[in-house]
Structure 1
Amino acid sequence: MKKLTSDTTKENKRFLPYGRQSIDEEDIQAVIEVLKGDYLTTGPTLAEFEKAVADYVGAEYAVAFSNGTAALHAACFAAGIQSGDEVITSPITFAASANCILYQGGKPVFADVDERTYNIDPAEIEKKINSKTKAIIPVDFTGQPAELDTILEFAQRHNLVVIEDAAHALGAEYNGKKIGSISDMTMFSFHPVKPITTGEGGVITTNDKDYYEKLVQFRTHGITRDRSKLNEDHGPWYYEMQLLGYNYRMTDIQAALGLSQLKKLDRFITRRREIATAYTEAFGDIPELVTPYQSPLSQSGWHLYVIRLKLEKLKGSRKEIFEALQREKIGVNVHYIPVYYHPYYQKLGYQRGLCPIAEKIYEEIITLPLFPAMTDSDVQEVIRAVKTVVKNYAK
């Protein structure tokens, strides 16, 4: 890896966000071309984008949606999740990973995470499986794939569906295979801070034709124009709403941006890995910090770089260290508040203490800036700020 050098001075420091999109003139021109064309939505660019995503990850099908949450909702519908069903997922994730279960009337069941990877622990999943369990939603936290071989073995044994929340993991690999080609269904998000962006957007990839057809119909009000599936046929104009779906379509405008971004994904991932390597080299010997663990089975997409504070070696709280880094103009964040901490979930009867490892991790983690457009100077400024703040708070 090339040496990252610094030319940042106190005078020209700017606030550095934890993540942001990387848009260039090629992206802008791709969107303009669609704006000048005949189709702004439900047109050929959307189909082209879906095929490009499927080809990239090695899946048979890809179905694009208005956002990642909509995609997860659709996947839960396609999996047949309904009232009375239980679905096992991680507490260390954005609320959408569990909300999508509630949308279908199911019950989220939170399994604790692995102390090293912060991904859902397969041993904890196994403890939660019962006759009501319908599916598992593992989350590829920070871009590092969950332990998919074990999870898929559980799923096969118990006849469960695996819906992989890979919002962070487009471009990541597990056991030499691209994420998106392994689980029954896989969701990718195209929010601006994700590996590529369509502004808002998401996709489900799958190798199952039945899931594919259900996903397509669900995102368009439950409507089909497929003549072979109609109950009646009044003529060429005729269509039928056969199930209660939603308007979850992605526009061709978004798809054009996604197509252009997808061409840059490998370059984006390479840069993310360079930055993550620089951080790990810089922080690896700091006794007050734990740097991210990387499984030998996977290649992370490095959506996030999360450091863990050894609070017993520090004289300040996580909040104090977080605020000190912000004063250094480093846009740190915390990913994530355990889902069942949120008031809505508390009202549903979930209580703290449910996943003790996840709760302990939450109290100790801070997310550092990591995105492809970061300069070498930006990276060195983050390193400097972290070292300075940790030194100031070390016992």
Structure 2
Amino acid sequence: MKPWLGDEEARAAAEAVASGWVAQGPRVAEFESAFAAYVGAPHGVAVSSCTTALHLALHLLGIGLGDEVVVPSFSFIATANSAVYVGATPVFADVEVADGNVSARTVEPVLTDHTRAVVVVDQGGMPADVQPLRELCERRGIALVEDAACAAGSRYRGAPAGGQAALAAWSFHPRKLLTTGEGGMLTTSDAELAVRARRLREHGMNLSAADRHQSRQPVIESYLEVGFNYRMTDIQAAVGLVQLGKLDAMVVRRRELASNYQEALAEVPGLRTVQDPPWGESNFQSFWVELRDDYPLRRNELLTALADEGVSARAGIMATHRQPAYAGHAHGDLTTTERLTDNTLILPLFHTMTEREQQRVVTLIRRAAGLRAA
């Protein structure tokens, strides 16, 4: 992945610096409104990362010690960490083989009387089928939080993915399409939760630093509850606003590149490419392939073969339950998670990728399978 950054972002950041307002301020407020409008969410709260957005979401729900939060093991470790941050116990659910996402089918077996929330991840930008999950959670009185870290620009049932969630967390890390360097967003349909989230990200203060500094009268703030320092800077937001204007073009280009991969690799025996699900369209934040038993090389062998030729691919999504930090945590059957973790790899895909670069990747994969170049 290479972020699509250029002179326009550099100018926007420089203008923020020259303005003298570099911490959280007017550009953050503008970015919040613009991003929320883009994804179709009523409220946006900019924060320092997707991880802090997930933490805030569970904190806002009052989840804590003795509660269980169902999460996919097939996800970056931050998804599970957010449950631990509030004192809850993460319980790992398996995923569907086609899209790598949890579903109502995989979540229901691990629900207990202690389950307070389910975190569904749109893995690699692939939109999860959230409606059946939402119905399952509503029947059981369980909150559903969407980890939409990778999903900006993806679509679910004709609408932007993540926008209809009661609480959704987004990432602007450089591996995502829209980047602010580091940074994240919490979107919500609940106005009161949005107000409280803005307070909590700024140490629990009853008014923002921007409000304080813009007042013509002396203002003595108060701290209504214990909060956090989860703010985004105006420099980051300035870059984010430019990136947001480029997001549609990024999605179009990435889907073109994904389609090229799907077509070029379709006849390779023992290899499966990720595809759009019936209910949505991916932004293809990650393009992954699964190697089956009849592919001549194992995953790590193919990664080495690509690296030897100067192609930077990556192992597929991690299985969090295998990490030492989560040894012994409760989980259901994780057969699919382990299959995908062991046998998938993520191929290079970025906005400025050329036809020649992509053909090189395809040729190496076909050669490893004993096929001629396409």
TM-score, length of structure 2 as denominator length: 0.94
| Inter-partner Cα distance in structure 2 for 1:22 and 1:338 | 29
Question: Structure 1 residues 158, 97: closer, same or farther in 2, change over 3 A?
Answer: same
- Residue among 197, 219, 233 paired with 2:179: 197
Deviation at 1:335, TM superposition (A): 2.8
> Counterpart of 2:369 in 1: which secondary structure?
helix
Runs of 4+ in 1 over 6 A off after TM superposition: none
Between stretches 94-103 and 72-81, larger displacement belongs to 72-81
Question: Structure 1 residues 380, 180: closer, same or farther in 2, change over 3 A?
Answer: same
5+ residue gaps, structure 1, are: 1-18, 227-234
| Inter-partner Cα distance in structure 2 for 1:245 and 1:104 | 13
Alignment correspondent of 2:268 = 286
8 Å CA contact retained: 1:144, 1:169:
yes
| Inter-partner Cα distance in structure 1 for 2:267 and 2:331 | 33
1:36 equivalent in alignment to 2:15 = no
- Residue among 202, 207, 225 paired with 1:220: 202
Alignment correspondent of 1:4 = none
Question: Structure 1 residues 244, 390: closer, same or farther in 2, change over 3 A?
Answer: farther
- Residue among 163, 168, 190 paired with 1:181: 163
Deviation at 1:315, TM superposition (A): 4.0
- Residue among 313, 319, 335 paired with 1:356: 335
Deviations 1:137-179 (A, max 9, x none): 0010111111111011012112222111111110111111112
Counterpart residue type for residue 386 of structure 1: I
Alignment correspondent of 1:147 = 129
> Counterpart of 1:138 in 2: which secondary structure?
strand
8 Å CA contact retained: 1:90, 1:112:
yes
8 Å CA contact retained: 1:318, 1:364:
yes
- Residue among 308, 330, 333 paired with 1:327: 308
| Inter-partner Cα distance in structure 2 for 1:315 and 1:26 | 46
Alignment correspondent of 2:357 = 378
Deviation at 1:351, TM superposition (A): 7.6
How do residues 292-311 of structure 1 correspond to structure 2 at under 5 angstroms? 292-310=274-292
TM-score, length of structure 1 as denominator length: 0.89
Alignment correspondent of 2:211 = none
8 Å CA contact retained: 1:92, 1:335:
no
> Counterpart of 2:165 in 1: which secondary structure?
coil
Deviation at 1:210, TM superposition (A): 2.1
8 Å CA contact retained: 2:109, 2:332:
no
Alignment correspondent of 1:24 = 6
Deviation at 1:200, TM superposition (A): 0.2
Alignment correspondent of 1:68 = 50
Deviation at 1:352, TM superposition (A): 9.0
Deviation at 1:237, TM superposition (A): 1.8
- Residue among 31, 36, 39 paired with 1:49: 31
Deviation at 1:66, TM superposition (A): 0.9
Deviations 1:102-156 (A, max 9, x none): 0000111111111211111321211122221111100101111111110110121
> Counterpart of 2:41 in 1: which secondary structure?
coil
RMSD after superposition = 1.6
Question: Structure 1 residues 296, 315: closer, same or farther in 2, change over 3 A?
Answer: closer
- Number of aligned pairs? 363
Question: Structure 1 residues 322, 352: closer, same or farther in 2, change over 3 A?
Answer: farther
8 Å CA contact retained: 1:112, 1:120:
yes
> Counterpart of 2:314 in 1: which secondary structure?
coil
| Inter-partner Cα distance in structure 2 for 1:67 and 1:171 | 18
Deviation at 1:314, TM superposition (A): 3.5
| Inter-partner Cα distance in structure 2 for 1:246 and 1:138 | 24
8 Å CA contact retained: 1:321, 1:390:
no
5+ residue gaps, structure 2, are: 209-216
| Inter-partner Cα distance in structure 2 for 1:269 and 1:176 | 15
Identity level (%): 36
| Inter-partner Cα distance in structure 1 for 2:313 and 2:369 | 14
1:260 equivalent in alignment to 2:232 = no
| Inter-partner Cα distance in structure 2 for 1:321 and 1:42 | 45
8 Å CA contact retained: 2:121, 2:146:
yes
| Inter-partner Cα distance in structure 1 for 2:38 and 2:273 | 30
| Inter-partner Cα distance in structure 2 for 1:198 and 1:103 | 24
